[in-house]
Structure formats: structure tokens, C-alpha cells
């Protein structure tokens, strides 16, 4: 594969990189290099008991990068209650997390490995065997068979088969290479479409890349590249509507805001009229509500959440009261399994984790109902992951 310029958001300042061989052989070597050799590596994510399976309970997990821990909360009616034994101290700095469909497993990305946890019915976790790879973002196919990691050291997408009994990850073939349409690659986000047939990645000023996925075999093929509007526009986060018809991109920099694209055959993307739509400073996360009628964007730069009504052709209109106040450097959003609450994790804290309800009289409007610390501040929340 031809070399391309890569600028990693979680890389060493001196540009040091590990080979894939090293990453796939030794967790210890990876951790030593990344944690002791890179003083500025992290710029901005054992338990047990209670029975297995985690089916039916409503939990949110937050990765705390500043204190190397994992927080867990049960989501109740307007409440967030810490899971017994949390926050969990970790031997690594967590960067990103995702819960598998079925709620049996939680996957947490750290330097040099993806850590595997079984989720018990009371929300506690038991750690399994990690997969040796260095990724910046995670997502799982809707059928729960395939996990994808956006590699943090080379321009490839890593694919793993998920063991349905143990949650263990097995590398599928060779990593899938990609090339940016333009700009510098900064791995940001990976998103699998609701139908499972497409994979989208956001790579900063490198724009976005689309892959097709064979849901039966797991075969992944590079489909197209999408350049950002300008060389100083960074694509940071992705969301796809439930029908797989529209892609929403959280963008910062020049022409920042929310980019909206139609998704055609094979993942072909075309910008809709009026895109991008205005948001706050440094949009860093984007999510749709459970009805698909409203869209929300976390604005890391000003600590707010922008909310929109989704109209005809996916055009966005700002909601009443938007943007809504949130934590400092709010960086991660998610909707709980009941569809009643939106959760927001803030890297800068004050608070670390916020929970909003959807207003009863003004459709889509967010009302803050609860906020909590995810550990001893500053915790540095990098991501949140919710059960489905």
C-alpha cells in the first residue's frame, strides 16, 4: 500500500510508531512504548458476580482517561446509580468503548489492545482475553458477529470475529487498507450502518471512507472516499439513520457543523441542500434519538449540545433552546435503551456525565435531570457506551 501522511491524535510527539508485528505480539511492549515513551500520548477513554448475560438491564459505562478507570451506572427513572465496585481501576488508559448487541459484552480500546469484558445482569464486569491491536475507535455490526477498530498507527481498518459464547475476538484476515481522499489522516470514528452492509470511517482532515460489508462472510471492500469541504475541515463523528438513507457527520474547522449526505447504492454519498448545518464549536459526537426525528451534536469547544428537528430530505432545523448547556469539553453522546434519556460524557468534567430527558411539551428539547462524577475529578471522560 502506498504511504500516506498520517497525523495521529493519540500518537507520540516524536512520530514513533510500532510495527503491526510488534502490536500483535506483545501487549506489554505496546503499553511500555505508548505509556512511558510518549509523555503527551493522550491528548483528549475484574469485577464479577450477579449472573451472566446482561440482557434487559439499562447501563452506561464511561471511560476515564485521566485516572485510568471505568465508571458504570444503572439508568433508572431520572437516576444514575453507580454499579457495585465501580469505578474500576484499569492497568491501561481507556480511549473508546462499545457494548455488543445482546448486552453480553463490553469492549474497551486502550494502548495496544482491545479489552473484553463480560457484562453481568447487575452491571458488573469480568475481564476476558484481550485482542492485541491499537485502535482509536470501535463499532460492532448489528448482528453482533463482527467488531471493527479504526487503527491508530496505520491507515487500515481492523476486523475481528466475535465468539458468541465467550466474546473473544479473532482477527479476520489481513487488515483492510484505505487511502484518504485528501488531507491528513487523524483516526476519529467508525460506524456500521443499521443494515450492517456498510461501514463508514471519519479520519479528520482526511475526510471519510466507505466500505461494503458482506454480513455472512465478513468480507470488507473499500467502496469510496469522501473529501471534506476544505483542507482545514475535520470530520470527527458519524451517525446513520435507521433506514440507512442518510449519513450525518460532525465537523469542526472551516465549514464545520453537521454535514448531511444521502447514502446511495454501495454507499455512494451526496451532500443534501443546505449542508453543512450550523452547530457549536468543535462538534465531536453526533446521535439520533430513538424515534429518528431529532439529531444531537456534542460541541466539545463550548461545552454545549446542539439539537435539531430532522425534516424532509433530512434537512436540519435548530430546536427550541438549542444549544443546551453540558459539561466542559463534552465529547460523547448516547441514547439509553428506553429511548427516554440522552447521556453526555464530558472530557473536561463539570459534570463528567449528564443525563437529559426529552421535554414533554416542546418536542426534542433537552431537560437536564441528573449529573454525576465518574470518579475522582478530573476523570477525563473519553467515551460512553450504553446497553441496547
55-74 tens-digit pLDDT: 468 999 999 999 999 999 99
Question: In CATH, what class is 20-386?
Answer: mainly beta
pTM, 2 dp: 0.86
pLDDT band at 40 (very low <50, low <70, confident <90, very high): very low
Examine the pLDDT at 92 and tell me if it is beyond 60.
yes
Tell me, what's the pLDDT at 247? 98
Q: Are 153 and 134 in contact (CB under 8 A)?
A: yes
Report the distance separating Cα 222 and Cα 211, nearest Å: 4
Out of 51-65, 76-90, 149-163, 184-198, least confident range: 51-65
What backbone torsions phi and psi does residue 375 show, to the nearest 5 degrees? 165, -160
CA distances from 104 to 23, 98, 138, 387 (A): 27, 11, 16, 9
What secondary structure letter does DSSP report for 194?
T
Here the cell at position 119 is: 457484562
More confident residue, 30 or 180: 180
Tell me, what's the pLDDT at 46? 31
Examine the pLDDT at 341 and tell me if it is beyond 70.
yes
Tell me, what's the pLDDT at 272? 97
Average the pLDDT over 166-192 and give the result: 94
Residue environment code for 99-138, b if the CB has 16+ CB neighbours within 10 A, otherwise e: bbeebbbbbbbbbbbbbbbbbbebbbbbbbebbbbbbbbb
Examine the pLDDT at 205 and tell me if it is beyond 80.
yes
Tell me, what's the pLDDT at 181? 85
Report the distance separating Cα 304 and Cα 289, nearest Å: 17
Residue written as cell 439509553? 336
Q: Are 303 and 325 in contact (CB under 8 A)?
A: yes
Strands 69-75 and 80-82: antiparallel
Task: Tell me the average pLDDT of the chain.
Answer: 88
Here the cell at position 313 is: 430530505
Average the pLDDT over 137-154 and give the result: 97
Tell me, what's the pLDDT at 56? 61
Examine the pLDDT at 107 and tell me if it is beyond 80.
yes
Tell me, what's the pLDDT at 7? 40
Here the cell at position 148 is: 471493527
pLDDT band at 182 (very low <50, low <70, confident <90, very high): confident
Here the cell at position 271 is: 451532500
Query: What is the distance of C-alpha 65 from the center of its chain?
Result: 14
Average the pLDDT over 146-164 and give the result: 97
Report the distance separating Cα 234 and Cα 35, nearest Å: 27
301 Ramachandran zone, left/alpha/beta (phi>0; psi -120 to 50): alpha
Strands 96-99 and 88-89: unpaired
How many residues are present in the chain?
388
Examine the pLDDT at 47 and tell me if it is beyond 50.
no
Amino acid at each position: 500500500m502506498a504511504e500516506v501522511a498520517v497525523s495521529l491524535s493519540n500518537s507520540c510527539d516524536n512520530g514513533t510508531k510500532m510495527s503491526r508485528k510488534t502490536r500483535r505480539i506483545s501487549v506489554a511492549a505496546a503499553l511500555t512504548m505508548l505509556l512511558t515513551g510518549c509523555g503527551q500520548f493522550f491528548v483528549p477513554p475484574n469485577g464479577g458476580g450477579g449472573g451472566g448475560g446482561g440482557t434487559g438491564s439499562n447501563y452506561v459505562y464511561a471511560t476515564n482517561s485521566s485516572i485510568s478507570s471505568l465508571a458504570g451506572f444503572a439508568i433508572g427513572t431520572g437516576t444514575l446509580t453507580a454499579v457495585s465496585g465501580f469505578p474500576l481501576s484499569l492497568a491501561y488508559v481507556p480511549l473508546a468503548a462499545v457494548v455488543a448487541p445482546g448486552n453480553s459484552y463490553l469492549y474497551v480500546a486502550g494502548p495496544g489492545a482491545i479489552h473484553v469484558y463480560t457484562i453481568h445482569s447487575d452491571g458488573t464486569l469480568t475481564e476476558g482475553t484481550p485482542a492485541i491491536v491499537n485502535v482509536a475507535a470501535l463499532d460492532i455490526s448489528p448482528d453482533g458477529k463482527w467488531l471493527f477498530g479504526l487503527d491508530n498507527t496505520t491507515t487500515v481498518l481492523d476486523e475481528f470475529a466475535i465468539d458468541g459464547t465467550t466474546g473473544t475476538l479473532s482477527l479476520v484476515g489481513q487488515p483492510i487498507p484505505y487511502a484518504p481522499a485528501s488531507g491528513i489522516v487523524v483516526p476519529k470514528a467508525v460506524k456500521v450502518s443499521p443494515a450492517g452492509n456498510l461501514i463508514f470511517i471519519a479520519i479528520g482532515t482526511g475526510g471519510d471512507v466507505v466500505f461494503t460489508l458482506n454480513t455472512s462472510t465478513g468480507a470488507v471492500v473499500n467502496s469510496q472516499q469522501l473529501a471534506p469541504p476544505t483542507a482545514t475541515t475535520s470530520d470527527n463523528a458519524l451517525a446513520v439513520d435507521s433506514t440507512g438513507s442518510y449519513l450525518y457527520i460532525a465537523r469542526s474547522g472551516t465549514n464545520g457543523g453537521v454535514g448531511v449526505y444521502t447514502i446511495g447504492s454501495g454507499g455512494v454519498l451526496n451532500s443534501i441542500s443546505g449542508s453543512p448545518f450550523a452547530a457549536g464549536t468543535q462538534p465531536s459526537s453526533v446521535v439520533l434519538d430513538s424515534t429518528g426525528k431529532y439529531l444531537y451534536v456534542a460541541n466539545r469547544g463550548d461545552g454545549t449540545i446542539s439539537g435539531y428537528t430532522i425534516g424532509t430530505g433530512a434537512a436540519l432545523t435548530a430546536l427550541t433552546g438549542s444549544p443546551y448547556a453540558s459539561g466542559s469539553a463534552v465529547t460523547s453522546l448516547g441514547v439509553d435503551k428506553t429511548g427516554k434519556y440522552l447521556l453526555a460524557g464530558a472530557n473536561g468534567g463539570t459534570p463528567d456525565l449528564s443525563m437529559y430527558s426529552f421535554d414533554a411539551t416542546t418536542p426534542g428539547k433537552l431537560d437536564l435531570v441528573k449529573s454525576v462524577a465518574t470518579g475522582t475529578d478530573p476523570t477525563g471522560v473519553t467515551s460512553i457506551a450504553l446497553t441496547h
